[in-house]
Structure 1
Amino acid sequence: MAAANSRRVPRAERERQMLDAAVAVFARRGYRAASMDEIAEAAGVSKPLVYLYLNSKDELFSACIRREAAALTAAVRDAVEEGATPERQLWSGLLGFFEHAAVHPDGWTLLYSQARTVGEPFAAEVAVLRAEIVAFVAALIAAACGSRDVEAYAHALVGAAESLAGWAAAAPAPAPTGKELAASLMTFAWSGLSRALPAPDPEAAGGSSAAEG
């Protein structure tokens, strides 16, 4: 009788297992030092199976970048509270960013430490992720500022968020929480950003402070 653990694993689940293992190994060892043998062992599969599913180490690394980039982008977009004040929308987007980075430290390391330093084509894939987040943040600010040019604001805010998340990842325990990081950046940035925004409507309901939970 076949063992219970010999069941056929669906392809999507098997790929997820491989990518989970690869992200962890790449984050810990770096792209060049990581081996396919090590990744296969961490995933609990044979090395030929990893090659069968993902063809090469380069393609595996690219697949990891794309998955982690999509997850980070989705976390930021999903966190933004539609219909909220501009301040609250930026606050919630930053909170989504920092909380995702904290919960997925290997994915953060892969995107912002490993992929950027290995070189092309991997750095270009991360640049696409960054451009998407900058465009999203710029749209949030532009919605509040009307037709003003806000790209510089968006680049500055995203760059500050990346730097702060990197600092937090290397900070000794206990590391600051996502809420603390978002509050710190809003305190730093909002006084300047708010000057570019129109005066608030005194009759608007539901205005909330960025430091609220």
Structure 2
Amino acid sequence: MDRVRNVTGKTKRLPRYVREQQMLDAAVQMFARRGYHAASMDEVAELAGVSKPMVYLYLGSKEELFLACIRREAGRLLDAFAGQVNQADAPDQQLWHALRAFFVLVAENRDSWRVLHQQAPAHGEPFAGEVAAMRTAIIAFAADLIDQNIRSRGVSEATEHDVSALAHALVGAGESLADWATEHPDEDPATTARRLMNFAWMGLDNLLHGSIWRP
């Protein structure tokens, strides 16, 4: 099952990394749609097109497989959120690019978001800890953007607690909106990101008075 035919007509074994990614893809889909407890290793193996012993050999127990899924998807999410940001851009542009990349990833990988935000926290440690670490990193990134903007405007009254509280509020709003977006597949990810920019960056008062942030 783990062989493919090359251009010469001979078969060759797929690299281990490629096969592991196929198994993880299948596992993410099964965990997202059936839940951690209901999903079986038989189903993961069948969906990945491999034998169950191969899943155990490559990725270990069901718990280890679930943990590997969480770590991979968390890494992808962090890369999407921070990887597209140019530090030379203005703070609002940095946040815009980060949010747009984040919502594009969620839209294209709804199963991934369900595993990270719905399944993993519901099943305790060590799963919840991996998601918490990812969330802490995203909050730190958001706090840095907010702090940059405060400093650039010469606002001296803002404290470290102000920055931290706003970063937590921003990330919480993004998570809630991602949950909403997964249930609205017709929503364009850039539109979702723009909604949050207007809510968070412009503020409700400006938004209600027609002052709209535009990319």
Q: TM-score, normalised by structure 2?
A: 0.84
Shift of 1:79: 2.2
Q: CA 1:3 to 1:84, structure 2 compared with 1: closer, same or farther past 3 Å?
A: closer
Residue pair 2:4, 2:13 contacting (<8 A) in 1 also? no
Q: Please tell me the root mean square deviation across aligned C-alpha atoms, in Å.
A: 2.1
Residue pair 1:76, 1:97 contacting (<8 A) in 2 also? yes
- The answer to whether residue 178 in structure 2 is matched with residue 165 in structure 1 is yes
Percent sequence identity is 54
Which of 100, 108, 131 is the aligned partner of 1:103? 108
- The answer to whether residue 208 in structure 2 is matched with residue 211 in structure 1 is no
**Deviations 1:111-166, CA, capped at 9 Å, x for gaps:** 01111112221111111110010011111111222384211111000000000110
> Which residue of the partner structure matches residue 28 of structure 1?
33
Cα distance in 2, alignment partners of residues 42 and 169 from structure 1: 23
Unmatched 5+ residue regions in structure 2?
152-157, 205-211
**Deviations 1:47-100, CA, capped at 9 Å, x for gaps:** 001101111000000000000000000011122233111111111111111111
Cα distance in 2, alignment partners of residues 156 and 99 from structure 1: 21
* 1:17-56 pair list within 5 angstroms: 17-56=22-61
Q: CA 1:88 to 1:165, structure 2 compared with 1: closer, same or farther past 3 Å?
A: same
Residue pair 1:81, 1:89 contacting (<8 A) in 2 also? yes
- Would you identify which runs of 4 or more consecutive aligned residues in structure 1 move more than 3 Å? none
- The answer to whether residue 132 in structure 2 is matched with residue 127 in structure 1 is yes
Cα distance in 2, alignment partners of residues 45 and 189 from structure 1: 46
Residue pair 1:88, 1:210 contacting (<8 A) in 2 also? no
Residue pair 1:91, 1:210 contacting (<8 A) in 2 also? no
Cα distance in 2, alignment partners of residues 101 and 56 from structure 1: 27
**Deviations 1:145-192, CA, capped at 9 Å, x for gaps:** 238421111100000000011011113x52x21111111111111134
Higher relative contact order structure (alpha carbons within 8 Å, sequence separation ≥ 6) = 1
* 1:38-187 pair list within 5 angstroms: 38-146=43-151, 148-149=159-160, 150-171=163-184, 173-174=185-186, 176-187=187-198
Residue pair 2:30, 2:44 contacting (<8 A) in 1 also? yes
Q: CA 1:188 to 1:45, structure 2 compared with 1: closer, same or farther past 3 Å?
A: same
Residue identity in the other structure for 1:188: F
SS at match of 1:7: strand
Question: When the two structures are aligned, how many residues end up with a matched partner?
Answer: 195
Residue pair 2:202, 2:213 contacting (<8 A) in 1 also? no
**Deviations 1:192-213, CA, capped at 9 Å, x for gaps:** 49xxxxxxxxxxxxxxx8522x
- Deviates most, 106-115 or 184-193: 184-193
Residue pair 2:103, 2:192 contacting (<8 A) in 1 also? yes
Cα distance in 1, alignment partners of residues 182 and 101 from structure 2: 16
